[in-house]
């Protein structure tokens, strides 16, 4: 176990640097990709303040907030998945698969349904309320999952997965019921959003999500040592004075807060919280002080690349980012499920 924690620790900074470089490249490509083409030279001129008004508007008002949102959402959901997998000892744990994302989505759909005119304005108050509303739904889903999966002092990974799938189905049914009662425009908007979409975003959405991640991500890093001990051996955790049940509850709340705040502005990105931590774990092992930062960068990279692909595959129309992630994530989930059962 200790060897797994130390795995490839010497390569950690190499992987971090590689992810940052790849992310910068992906950002450059994303800025220059879309219905309105912006050449690399025009991009550089705009960055230094000598670009045309049209290029300035395209880059700073449309594409840069979208890229910033993709980075933040990718980081938050990836770290949420890493925490869920550790506290549940379940390699298949993901906020999308377990129903946490759907719970947050259900709360947003209710919010949209009952306050349609207020939500449609997209004013600052409406946007900043969305994470709070989504967190209520995500916390409700997490409470139901924890309560129904908890038996005999522990949460069995298989039971947690099955309960999560059931909760996911229940909230999805509720979402469909309210969607069918919406106006066609609101129905289409929520359908695309629930598929995982970060289009038509603005700096207001970025500012609504940024404070949550600035608070929650450092807490996740601060708790990395506790996560290490819990994921290794429950008896070892008790031996060093850690209240496993209490810490798992708080870590679950932390994961839910991360996922819920991201879902509020980025929609349901299923499988992202599954893929990114698995890739990071293969590269640097299970030590969370390394696993969490690398998972965050990989998650950000995956969403930026997926968003870029979503804009070009059926251009000038766009696919939801969640569909691109699902194309990659669904086969990987099936592979992990078969591997776990074996």
Q: How far is CA 283 from the centre of its chain?
A: 20
pLDDT tens digits for range 193-251: 777 777 657 888 888 889 999 999 999 999 898 888 877 766 665 666 677 777 888 88
Give the pLDDT confidence score for residue 68 in this predicted structure: 92
pLDDT tens digits for range 27-61: 988 888 877 777 777 777 778 777 778 777 888 88
Torsion, CA 217, CA 219, CA 224, CA 230, rounded to 10: -120
CA nearest neighbour of 24 among 289, 304, 249 = 304
Give the pLDDT confidence score for residue 59 in this predicted structure: 82
Per-residue pLDDT band for 327 (boundaries 50, 70, 90) equals: confident
Q: Percent of the chain having pLDDT more than 90?
A: 19
Per-residue pLDDT band for 6 (boundaries 50, 70, 90) equals: low
Environment class of residue 177 by beta-carbon count within 10 Å: exposed (0-12), middle (13-18) or buried (19+)? exposed
CA nearest neighbour of 260 among 179, 139, 149 = 139
Q: Would you state the structure tokens that stand for residue 42, as one six-digit string?
A: 């025009």
> Does the structure show a pLDDT above 50 at 1?
no
> Does the structure show a pLDDT above 70 at 7?
no
User: How far is 153 from 303, CA to CA, in rounded Å?
Assistant: 37
Mean pLDDT score across all residues of the chain? 82
Q: Which domains, and CATH codes, for the chain?
A: 2-341 (1.10.3470.10)
Whole-Å CA distances, 24 to 37, 198, 303, 314: 19, 19, 13, 24
Give the pLDDT confidence score for residue 119 in this predicted structure: 65
CB of 135 within 8 A of CB of 260? Answer: yes
CB of 19 within 8 A of CB of 26? Answer: no
Give the pLDDT confidence score for residue 241 in this predicted structure: 63
Give the pLDDT confidence score for residue 293 in this predicted structure: 95
User: How far is 156 from 153, CA to CA, in rounded Å?
Assistant: 10
CA nearest neighbour of 219 among 191, 189, 257 = 257
Minimum mean pLDDT range among 2-6, 128-132, 274-278: 2-6
First to last CA, the chain: 21
SS (H, E, C) 6-31: HCCHHHHHHHHHHHHHHHHHHHHHHH
| Strand, helix or coil for residue 154 | strand
pTM to 2 decimal places: 0.86
Give the pLDDT confidence score for residue 160 in this predicted structure: 78
Rg (CA), the chain: 20
Give the pLDDT confidence score for residue 75 in this predicted structure: 94
- Give one DSSP letter per residue of 204-224, joined into a string: HHHHHHHHHHHHHHHHHHHTH
Q: Would you state the structure tokens that stand for residue 32, as one six-digit string?
A: 């220059």
Q: Give the helix ranges, DSSP H, for 12-151.
A: 12-31, 40-47, 53-56, 64-88, 100-114, 116-120, 124-149
């Amino acid at each position: 176990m200790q060897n797994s924690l130390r795995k490839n620790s010497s390569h950690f900074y190499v992987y971090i640097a590689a992810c940052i470089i790849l992310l910068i490249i992906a950002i450059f490509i994303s800025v220059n990709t879309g219905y309105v083409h912006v050449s690399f030279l025009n991009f550089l001129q705009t960055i230094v303040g000598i670009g045309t008004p049209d290029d300035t508007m395209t880059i700073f008002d449309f594409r840069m907030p979208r890229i910033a949102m993709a980075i933040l959402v990718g980081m938050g959901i990836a770290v949420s998945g890493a925490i869920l997998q550790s506290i549940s000892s379940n390699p298949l744990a993901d906020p999308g698969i377990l129903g946490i994302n759907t719970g947050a989505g259900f709360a947003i759909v209710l919010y949209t349904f009952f306050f349609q005119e207020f939500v449609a304005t997209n004013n600052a108050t409406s946007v900043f309320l969305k994470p709070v509303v989504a967190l209520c739904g995500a916390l409700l889903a997490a409470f139901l999952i924890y309560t129904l999966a908890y038996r005999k002092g522990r949460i069995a990974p298989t039971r947690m997965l099955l309960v999560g799938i059931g909760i996911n189905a229940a909230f999805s049914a509720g979402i469909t019921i309210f969607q069918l009662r919406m106006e066609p425009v609101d129905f289409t908007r929520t359908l695309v959003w629930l598929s995982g979409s970060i289009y038509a975003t603005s700096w207001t959405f970025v500012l609504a999500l940024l404070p949550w991640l600035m608070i929650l991500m450092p807490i996740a890093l601060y708790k990395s040592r506790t996560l290490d001990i819990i994921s290794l051996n429950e008896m070892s955790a008790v031996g060093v004075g850690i209240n496993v049940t209490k810490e798992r509850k708080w870590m679950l709340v932390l994961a839910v807060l991360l996922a819920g705040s991201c879902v509020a502005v980025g929609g349901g990105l299923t499988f992202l919280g599954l893929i990114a931590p698995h890739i990071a774990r293969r590269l640097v092992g299970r030590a969370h002080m390394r696993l969490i930062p690398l998972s965050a960068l990989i998650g950000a990279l995956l969403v930026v690349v997926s968003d870029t692909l979503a804009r070009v595959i059926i251009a000038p129309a766009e696919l939801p980012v969640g569909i691109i992630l699902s194309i990659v994530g669904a086969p990987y989930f099936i592979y992990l499920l078969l591997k776990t059962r074996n």
